[in-house]
Amino acid sequence: MNKRILMIGTGGTIASKQTDNGLKPGLSSEDVLSYIPQVKDVCEVQTIQVCSIDSTNATPEHWMLLTRTIEEQYDKYDGFVICHGTDTLAYTAAALSYMIQNSRKPIVITGAQKPIDMDVTDAKTNLLDSFIYAADDDSQDVNIVFGGKVIVGTRAKKVRAKSYNAFESINYPYSAVIQDGMVIRYIPTVPHKYRVRFYHGMKNSIYVLKLIPGMKSDILSYIFKDYDCIVIESFGVGGIPESIVNEFYEEMSSWKEKGKLVVMTTQVANEGSNMTVYEVGQKVKQDFDLIESYDMTLEATITKLMWLMSLPDMSFDDMKKGFYKMINHDILFTR
């Protein structure tokens, strides 16, 4: 018997039409689905449209909307396919990985670099592949299907702005590929022992500070004052440069008492951080017991912190323990 899959439309390039001011979402979920009639041989599909936006405009409220929609429909369907714009698709995939945990049913996110109504487009293949993956018996959890590759929801990054192979899996293998209408798995599925759990909060009082050579320190007081969490994108394996280190120590000394968070990550996409390697990182980490993202993507780091900060009665130790707990393969190494 065919699996029942719910397709959730959010807009994005895949559903866009050309206007005088450029591409803009304009196709409904049913319109998009009509371009792949062969899906009837794969599964039974119902559609729902929750919004119609360019993914540049996606916010945590949209992630909460998607979570509520899936929770409300969870018992009625065998899986879900979300059509999404590519620009923030990796953020949404990571966010849903934290907001919907232990899902034995697949939640697939896909999109396209060209609208589905164009003669030359990647949209039809990506969407059909997504249904093939969602209808497979061994599929579960949040994953991206794009360019024939299956990427774990917490491991994706958009690395190309125009090419069809827009996404790569960072510090983790592709879990599967879709070839000739079949799912070929590189990593076996381990069924969840616990029931699916939905979370509904995301606290966005978070700022990403990208370090640049010769950065002035005056920005720190503003950021430390107005945000509850700062993610510092450092160089290489991680450290604080001399130009801001004195101000950083002053701000951190008062921050620690307020229970706020600083998390260190790296601007380098692959292989992760390790602040113990160099003096510029080791002393800072020891002095302030900093949380470090290690091999996590920036998208997963940000959304995991938003999720953790929304949980009630979380101490610093709770936050640190929660951050280092692996969810949907998001972190492999902690030192």
Distances (CA, A) of 333 to 80, 274, 289, 301, 314: 30, 10, 17, 14, 23
21 in helix, strand or coil? Answer: coil
Q: What is the CA radius of gyration of the chain?
A: 21
For residues 163 and 48, give the distance between their C-alpha atoms in angstroms, rounded to a whole number. Answer: 28
The percent helix, strand, coil of the chain (3-state, each to 5) is 35, 25, 40
Nearest Cα residue to 81 out of 110, 52, 60, 104 = 110
Residue with tokens 């951080």: 273
164 in helix, strand or coil? Answer: coil
Both tokens of 48, joined, read 């729902």
Asked about 13 being catalytic, the answer comes back as yes
Taking the CA atoms of residue 93, residue 98, residue 101 and residue 104 in that order, the dihedral angle to the nearest 10 degrees is 10
- Rounded to 10 deg, the angle between the 242-258 and 218-226 helix axes is 20
Q: With contact defined as beta carbons under 8 Å apart, do 103 and 80 qualify?
A: no
Among the listed residues 10, 13, 265, 266, the single catalytic one is 13
Distances (CA, A) of 306 to 157, 175, 262, 301: 18, 26, 13, 9
Distances (CA, A) of 130 to 112, 142, 176, 193: 12, 12, 12, 25
Q: With contact defined as beta carbons under 8 Å apart, do 264 and 293 qualify?
A: yes
For residues 186 and 175, give the distance between their C-alpha atoms in angstroms, rounded to a whole number. Answer: 5
DSSP bridge pairs for 100: 198
At residue 199, what is the residue type? Y
Active site residues: 13
